[in-house]
Amino acid sequence: MEQLITFASDNGMLSAIWVALVVMIIVTTIKIQMSPIKQISTQDLTFLMNREEGIALDIRSDKDFKTSHILDAVSLSNEKINKNGFVSLEKHKAQPIIVVCSAGISAVKTANDLFKAGFTRVSVLKGGMNAWISAGLPVSKK
């Protein structure tokens, strides 16, 4: 313990950066846990689609969607969202909606926008299409 205190006092800047990183990780973890938008696994997505008629909302570009996508997924690229909002999803408001992007990062913003628009059962696929493909799950190329 004495060595740790000595190291921290001798390397103030490095210690401050380390403390800041730990605080950022803790804050991010708490925000994720408290958020109404949950990140779900590929298995959970399959369960929601099969048992609760969930909708996989693919927000990748039309080109990426045509290359490969989750079976029965609905394509709504960011360009279409910016132009028309979520009008095409109004009939699915009561169903679970799982937002899918390439890596699971950009889907969070769209999921938050959906939640603000009144869609109460919104989730994000953790890892996005990369996780889906890595898990060896089926994709459609139509």
Best CA proximity match to 107, nearest among 98, 116, 115: 98
CA distances from 42 to 24, 80, 98, 110 (A): 27, 25, 10, 19
CA 54/CA 73 separation, integer angstroms: 10
Annotated active-site residue 127? The verdict is no
101, 107, 114, 122: the catalytic one is 101
Are 55 and 89 contacting, i.e. CB atoms less than 8 angstroms apart?
yes
| Enzyme catalytic residues | 101
